Amino acid sequence: MFSFLLLLPVAAGESTWNYEDQANWPEQCHTNSRQSPIDIHDSAVDSSMRAAGLSFNYGIARNMSVLLGPHLEGDIHHDENWHLSGVFGFTNDRYRLAQLHYHWGSNDSTGSEHYLNGNSFPAELHMVHHNMKYSNLSDAVGKEGGIAVLGILLRVGNNESAVEALLTSLAENTTAPPVNLAGLIPSDVATNYYTYNGSFTTPPCTEHVSWIVAGTELTISESQLARLRDLTLDGKPVGPNYRVLAPQNERRILAGGRNGDSSYSAGPFLSYIVTSLLFLYSACIQL
């Protein structure tokens, strides 16, 4: 199925929004304290604990609906229950992949929404999941633990398979060809990621979004970036379509499972072991 996603008001009386005029986005986009995206610095990561390793049940997405609006988007068919688990704070819950979409800039130095250690990238893939306690994405929005978004930063390199499928679908006005979802994520993402509590990056900027940002980038080709930059809707370019950075404020950023699938810090545990061994050694000396 092929369709266009138009920029429609959220409710009667509300105006449309665009990326050129982010200063006039709804008030909560500016005043709420847990907004996304952010610049993730290793120096700001909380080293007192680590998030657990993630688990992915990703397969072949078939019959994705392709939409062109503020982004290039592929909606996963409702009968397909590809999901992830291990989201920090909700490790026992499963999150179904509902859709994926892309953000990009006008050149190779901008386009990603998240930054890593002050560095931006030409594009970013978002894979949007909802907690399977809710029947769909809309029901989960705004609920604590309701939404988890996996963000993957894209640097210039080889072709990226999903964007190729969606671009082909747009050009030929056909259903998107099958996409191997497991091929869209870095091979080490289960244990190499950052996570924090944030928001959607488009109005109304609803919070209670568990962000998972992969620590390893993947690639997108120059030709694919050029095709993204050439996309238009109603005679206007779709991009650049990235939100400016939000402050981290007092939020905690955790690294995910980089020392194994541990959800606790190794530091206090090792300290306990060392103290115990010293105690036993001292007791043996006294004997």
Q: Which residues are catalytic?
A: 78
**What is the spatial distance between Cα 166 and Cα 162, in angstroms, rounded to a whole number?**
6
CB-based burial, 83-98: b 16+ in 10 Å, e otherwise: bbbbbbebeebbbbbb
- Asked if residues 143 and 134 have their Cβ atoms less than 8 Å apart, the reply is yes
What is the DSSP secondary-structure string of 126-189? EEEEEETTSSSHHHHTTSTT-EEEEEEEEEESS--HHHHHHHHHHHHTSPPPPEEGGGGS-TTT
Longest dimension (CA), the chain: 87
Give the number of other Cβ atoms within 10 Å of residue 247's Cβ: 10
Amino acid identity of residue 64, one-letter, is: M
Of 208, 209, 213, 200, nearest in space to 256 by CA: 213
Residue 48: alpha-carbon gap to chain centroid:
23
Give me the torsion for CA of 102, 105, 107, 112, rounded to 10°: -70
What is the DSSP secondary-structure string of 19-52? GGGGGGS-THHHH-SS-S--EE-GGGB-TT--BP
